[in-house]
Amino acid sequence: QRIEKCNAGSICCVETDFRTADLPPGSFDVILAAAVLHHLRDDQDWRSAFQKIYDLLRPGGSLWITDLVIHESSAVHQLMWQRYGDYLVSLKGEEYRDQVFAYIDREDSPRPVTYQLDLLRKVGFSQVDLLHKNSCFAAFGAIKS
């Protein structure tokens, strides 16, 4: 709705599991992935997902990601998850923090930002940028040549 005010073209919003949806290659200008990719399981899932996103974009198209991330350094990872845990406690207490962390351990497989940026380049994206990172969350994007 907000983009309609500054866009002269048409807008087609698709909300689906892109991994299984029958979407035509090269048919999207922009793909947004908000808090979904951390559910991918293993390295092959990550590579397949990023390759499919790349294939779905038109030349010049872009991917924008906001998601849960982990850190390559175990010391940094521990510090950031402690900060996140403290934040969760301040919201709803220790039990809530424990529930969130248990859910993450059970359901999620986040990867470091560096892993994801490297993988974006490997599948073909030519321009890759980190926009923002705070604690265990990051925003980043990539553009297809």
CATH, range 24-143: 3.40.50.150
The per-residue pLDDT for range 41-81, each reduced to its tens digit, is: 999 999 999 999 999 999 999 999 999 999 999 999 999 99
Work out the burial of residue 78: count CB atoms within 10 Å of its CB; fewer than 13 is exposed, 13-18 middle, 19 or more buried: exposed
pTM: 0.89
What are the domain boundaries of the chain? 24-143
pLDDT at 1 over 70: no
How confident is the model at residue 131, as a pLDDT? 98
pLDDT at 90 over 80: yes
- What's the CA angle centered on 115, arms 64 and 17, to 5 degrees? 45
Q: Angle 113-122/43-56 helices, nearest 10 degrees? A: 50
Q: In angstroms, how far apart are the furthest CA atoms of the chain?
A: 49
pLDDT at 133 over 90: yes
Nearest partner of 58 among 28, 33, 32, 31, judged by Cα = 28
